[in-house]
A and B are shown apart, each in its own frame.
Chain A
C-alpha cells in the first residue's frame, strides 16, 4: 500500500521569500505523485503532477517539485511567494498503471507574512 507524509503541518514565510514544502512517500511499486492546492473555502485543484520522465516538474503559479526516487521525496518549491499563495497544500500518491484511488497527505498550511 502507498502512504504519504507531509512533514510540516504549517509553514510561515515572508512575502517574496522562497519556500519548500516537504513530502515523503512510501510504496513498494512505482508511483505517480501530485501536489494539490486548496485556497480558503474552496475545493482542491491540481498544482502539478509527476507521471514519468523529467524528475523536475513545473506547475501553475510558479511552483515546481522534484521527484527523488532514492529519498522517496517530492518536495514542492517556489522561489518567491506572494500573499495570494496563502493556502493549504496537499501531496498525494497513487500506483502507476491502472489504479482507482489517490492517497492524500494531511496537508501543509502555508502562511505568508507581510
Chain B
C-alpha cells in the first residue's frame, strides 16, 4: 500500500496562475480532506469529501475548488493564485470521518 500520495512536492506559482494539487489514496477510504498548514496556525480544513460525488466546504474554502469523481482521487484546484495561498497543503483520508486520518507527505506551494 502506498497510502496517500500527493503531487507535486514543491511548486512555485506566479500571482494569477492556476494549478491542481493531486491526491490519491489506495486504502478504499470514503473520507478525504484537504488542509493547509501555516506556521504557528495548525491545520485549517479547506474542503472535504465523504464519498465519490460529494464534497463540502471546510473552514477556509475561498480561492479553492475540489471534485471527487472516484473514491481514490481528490484533486484541489487553485484558480487564481494569490500570495495568501503560500502554504503547505496536506491531503488526508480516513475510513470514517471522526476516526484516524492518514496524511500524505504534503505539497509546499509558494505564490510570488
Q: In the assembled complex, how far is the CB of residue B83 from the closest CB belonging to chain A, in whole angstroms?
A: 22
Q: Which residues of chain A have C-beta atoms less than 8 A from B42's C-beta?
A: 90, 104-107
Secondary structure dominating the interface of A: loop
Known: A43-B104, A43-B106, A44-B90. A102 touches B98 (CB 8 A): yes
The answer to whether the Cβ of B21 comes within 8 Å of any Cβ in the partner chain is no
Q: How far is the CA of A41 from the CA of B92 in the complex (A)?
A: 16
Q: Which residues of chain A have C-beta atoms less than 8 A from B35's C-beta?
A: 104
Q: How far is the CA of A90 from the CA of B98 in the complex (A)?
A: 16
Chain B's closest residue to A109 (CB) is B40
The answer to whether the Cβ of B105 comes within 8 Å of any Cβ in the partner chain is yes
- Cβ contact within 8 Å between B98 and A96: yes
The answer to whether the Cβ of A11 comes within 8 Å of any Cβ in the partner chain is no
Q: Which residues of chain B have C-beta atoms less than 8 A from A101's C-beta?
A: 33, 45, 48, 58, 97-98
- Cβ contact within 8 Å between A43 and B45: no
Q: Which residues of chain B have C-beta atoms less than 8 A from A105's C-beta?
A: 42
Q: Which residues of chain A have C-beta atoms less than 8 A from B48's C-beta?
A: 100-101
Chain A's closest residue to B105 (CB) is A43
Q: How far is the CA of A34 from the CA of B104 in the complex (A)?
A: 18
Chain A's closest residue to B97 (CB) is A100
Q: How far is the CA of A44 from the CA of B100 in the complex (A)?
A: 11
The answer to whether the Cβ of A32 comes within 8 Å of any Cβ in the partner chain is yes
Q: Among residues 73 to 102 in chain A, which have CB atoms less than 8 Å away from a CB atom of chain B?
A: 90, 94-102
In the A-B complex, the 8 residue pairs with the closest CB atoms: A43-B103, A94-B98, A99-B98, A100-B97, A106-B42, A104-B43, A44-B103, A46-B100
- 13 further A-B contacts with Cβ under 8 Å, apart from A45-B103, A99-B97, A100-B97, are A34-B100, A44-B101, A44-B103, A46-B101, A49-B99, A49-B100, A95-B98, A97-B98, A100-B98, A101-B98, A106-B40, A106-B41, A107-B42
